[in-house]
Structure 1
Amino acid sequence: MKPNDLDRRRLLALAAAAAPALAAAPAARAAASEWKDAIIVDALGGLDDPNIPSSDGSGLGEAGPRRRRVLSKRVLDDARASGVTAINCTLGYVAGPAEPFEATVSDIALYDRMIADHPGHLLKVTRAADIVSAKQAGKVGLIYGFQNAAMVGDNLDRIDMFADLGVRVVQLTYNPANQIGDGSTAPQNRGLTPFGRQVVERLNANRLMVDLSHSGQATCLEAARASAQPISINHTGCRALVDLPRNKTDEELRLVADKGGFVGIYFMPFLHKDGYVTGDDVVAHIEHAVQVCGEDHVGLGTDGVITKVDDLDAYRAAVAKEVAARKAAGIGAPGEKADILKFAIDLRGPTQFHDLADRLKARGHSTARVEKILGRNFLRYAADVWGG
């Protein structure tokens, strides 16, 4: 038996044993439902209040001037009420004029401080077993992830340092090209650079997840083939259903699954040709991904938050401003529109994960399959890459 197989079997046995311990978890964890004991992982999300505007109003996802993150009681209560077990949170530089390395190190320190400030609510995830521990303790596990590897610069040793600091997911590119490869909006679709191949090798050596979200098709396929470990596309849709660059082709999805990886479906406007997304669109993309990848390789990566938007009109105005700023900065993507929401209108707030599970069950998917999609597939993938 391979070591990873042993890690996985032990981990899944531990996860199965976690359910009785939930009786001691805080009452606010989740509403009683069929899914209250399920492990739920958002492979790309965040703990934020969408009703509070960003500090600069740009919406660029830029790691700019830093300030201490303060999580409100509402955000923490909503996360626990949702039943979410772990979230891959975007840390560090994504785009903009900030110095990528400096801003990223600062952001990691801020997240460490945020977790230290909320020890009863949050847990830092550095191995797969931490996800199970978060479930048992009634906490939300935070996975440190990047949505751009620009902060590596030309220094591979930085990957070792980020691993030591607890980063566990590294997305190779954002939408434009970087020193590693082309993103989904880079017109040349050139694939991995020679340095990019070295980056993938060093990520493998550190047992970090290689995330191919936002990558161009050639970069995605080449990185998936180059990686010695399973890879992931943590937040995407299916291009066979909606032909937009941020969605992945069946060839990309199938290769990631064939390599033992993971595909997370988002709740983003790219799931519908007009950008107005509903829960039915999310279900359709999940079902297509399951058809292409198999039920053991598909999960969720909402690319959203849990706390509900209170004023949709004000939110639409903020989105319009953000879309304009992203376009001006050259980081926008086809399918982003000024007059749409960035989430499925009927899958939002603390009930979103259980609501989606109910929809899938109503479509005829078994409880076991739904639980895989909610989080067990990511847990299996994490055990394979990080170890148990």
Structure 2
Amino acid sequence: MLNPAKRYTGYTAYAYLEAGKDYRAFKYAKQINRVPAYGGLDLSTSQSERTKRLLEEETVISLHDHVQVFPDDMTELPGYIRQGREATAYAGLSRSGLTAVFDNGMDGACCISSEAGWKYQDVLFDLGVRMADLAHQDFVIKAESIKDIEYAALTGRLAHIFALEAATMIENEVDRLDVLYGFGVRQMGIAYSEANMLGGGLKERGDGGLTYFGERAVDRMNKLGIAIDISHSGDRTSLDVIRASKVPVFITHAGARSVWPTKRMKTDETIVECATRGGVIGIEAAPHTTLSRTHPWHSLESVMDHFTYCVDLVGIEHVSFGPDTLFGDHVSLHDTLSSNLSLVQTNGDIDHDKMAYVDGLENPAEAFYNIIGWLVKYDYSDDEIRAVVGGNTLRVLKEVWE
């Protein structure tokens, strides 16, 4: 594990306010060593040194994570969410080695004013409060461009990029995309499992594809410079979006359905079409998603089964990582918010043991050290590692953002 980033000075979320007076305080989960360290790598001294060097020297980008810390007692989660003041896990991020992270906030569980989530005002409130906190420290910076990522890399900071897993909150108003762009959103999904005005989601019995309004939204995202994500979109909608977009799109956090046959995973056709048009798939690691028949107990090894499959399918230049981790009990969060997250419909009913956490990819503080360590262990070259932990993502962003 890395030493804390030099730029980090110990700031904690909302330290400029008075806890208990300005906002309700919670006891947060541990950001470091919440669970036992992963013991599956067994690296030699030279491999460990190479892993640390790559993590420290290369531009490392998570295509999809949630960088908040959650309550230690997850029965307090509903109250924590309703307050609309999620705490960025600065201490944990200082140990991550990340150069940049696409942070998706609460997304489908943004339930400040409504249990159903996805309300426009709630999303704006969530974004605004998070930006206010970021503005009071100098380690995690709000990033909106390639130059911001480069600046973070040069100065020992972490570039935080706002992203949303769906465009549900725009309803039928395409100009809301401009407003969200103005708030700093630089990546957005089409639908979050449930169908919306733009297209179909993974949980639906049928997928009608990208709507005419969805085509307008894709065109506006292209013009604004919002990278498009199809991770939770239905199969037909995903293909429609890839073909409608004038620039490559991302599958920011998913795996291959051929490796683990649930709706939450992407078909070979979608992965290939995405890559053919220049896009990238980020491999997911949220609990009980990217399992495999070879490794049905969710761990780094099962996640990397999806990685190797996708590399064989479309080439290493079209694969990256969007671990989809957070700081706290991710499994309990899923249990509490299973309806909002459509877990039953998208993860299917394949028989597998429920586990407490994903071994080796439990939170953003450990994810990329272990990913890079695995790649080092299996003799991937520096160039190959450089590509999958950030280079491939940067290549697409340069086409989409600039």
1:219 aligns with 2:237: yes
Deviations 1:136-185 (A, max 9, x none): 12111111111121111111111111112211011001111111111111
Which residue of structure 1 aligns with residue 116 of structure 2? 97
Which residue of structure 1 aligns with residue 126 of structure 2? 107
Which residue among 298, 310, 319 is the counterpart of 1:289?
310
Residue 34 (structure 1) shift? 2.6
1:200 aligns with 2:218: yes
Which residue among 130, 153, 156 is the counterpart of 1:138?
156
Distance in 2 of aligned mates of 1:328 and 1:368: 40
1:81 aligns with 2:95: yes
- Residues 175 and 184 of structure 1 are in contact (CA less than 8 Å); yes or no, is this contact kept in structure 2? yes
Distance in 1 of aligned mates of 2:252 and 2:209: 19
In structure 2, the CA distance between the partners of 1:193 and 1:377, relative to structure 1 (3 Å rule), is same
Distance in 2 of aligned mates of 1:316 and 1:78: 15
- Residues 187 and 228 of structure 2 are in contact (CA less than 8 Å); yes or no, is this contact kept in structure 1? yes
Residue 347 (structure 1) shift? 3.0
Which residue of structure 2 aligns with residue 242 of structure 1? 260
- Residues 225 and 400 of structure 2 are in contact (CA less than 8 Å); yes or no, is this contact kept in structure 1? yes
Distance in 1 of aligned mates of 2:152 and 2:375: 25
Which residue of structure 2 aligns with residue 39 of structure 1? 59
Distance in 2 of aligned mates of 1:53 and 1:202: 42
* Paired AA for residue 65 in structure 1: R
Which residue of structure 1 aligns with residue 362 of structure 2? 348
Structure 2 length-normalised TM? 0.78
Distance in 2 of aligned mates of 1:262 and 1:94: 23
Q: Structure 2: state its 5+ residue gaps.
A: 10-47, 110-114
Structure 1 length-normalised TM? 0.81
Which residue of structure 1 aligns with residue 400 of structure 2? 385
Q: 222-231 or 75-84: which moved more?
A: 75-84
Distance in 2 of aligned mates of 1:277 and 1:126: 34
- Residues 122 and 141 of structure 1 are in contact (CA less than 8 Å); yes or no, is this contact kept in structure 2? yes
Residue 217 (structure 1) shift? 0.5
* Paired AA for residue 370 in structure 1: I
Question: Percent identical across equivalent pairs?
Answer: 24
* Paired AA for residue 358 in structure 2: A
Which residue of structure 2 aligns with residue 26 of structure 1? 6
Distance in 2 of aligned mates of 1:365 and 1:328: 39
Which residue of structure 2 aligns with residue 5 of structure 1? none
- Residues 168 and 196 of structure 2 are in contact (CA less than 8 Å); yes or no, is this contact kept in structure 1? yes
Deviations 1:199-228 (A, max 9, x none): 111111111111101111001001100111
- Aligned-residue CA RMSD in angstroms? 2.8
Give the secondary structure class of the aligned counterpart of 2:197: coil
- Residues 177 and 186 of structure 1 are in contact (CA less than 8 Å); yes or no, is this contact kept in structure 2? yes
- Residues 94 and 174 of structure 1 are in contact (CA less than 8 Å); yes or no, is this contact kept in structure 2? yes
Give the secondary structure class of the aligned counterpart of 1:117: coil
Which residue among 172, 190, 195 is the counterpart of 2:190?
172
Which residue among 301, 306, 315 is the counterpart of 2:322?
301
In structure 2, the CA distance between the partners of 1:361 and 1:101, relative to structure 1 (3 Å rule), is same
Q: How many residues align?
A: 346
Q: 152-161 or 86-95: which moved more?
A: 86-95
In structure 2, the CA distance between the partners of 1:190 and 1:156, relative to structure 1 (3 Å rule), is same
Residue 291 (structure 1) shift? 1.6
Which residue of structure 1 aligns with residue 20 of structure 2? none
- Residues 292 and 302 of structure 2 are in contact (CA less than 8 Å); yes or no, is this contact kept in structure 1? no
* Paired AA for residue 352 in structure 1: A
Deviations 1:297-316 (A, max 9, x none): 211100102x4x5xxxxx48
Which residue of structure 2 aligns with residue 271 of structure 1? 290
1:360 aligns with 2:396: no
In structure 2, the CA distance between the partners of 1:342 and 1:152, relative to structure 1 (3 Å rule), is farther
Residue 80 (structure 1) shift? 1.8
Q: Structure 1: state its 5+ residue gaps.
A: 1-24, 310-314
Distance in 2 of aligned mates of 1:162 and 1:192: 21
- Residues 115 and 122 of structure 1 are in contact (CA less than 8 Å); yes or no, is this contact kept in structure 2? yes
- Residues 194 and 204 of structure 2 are in contact (CA less than 8 Å); yes or no, is this contact kept in structure 1? yes
- Residues 233 and 262 of structure 1 are in contact (CA less than 8 Å); yes or no, is this contact kept in structure 2? yes
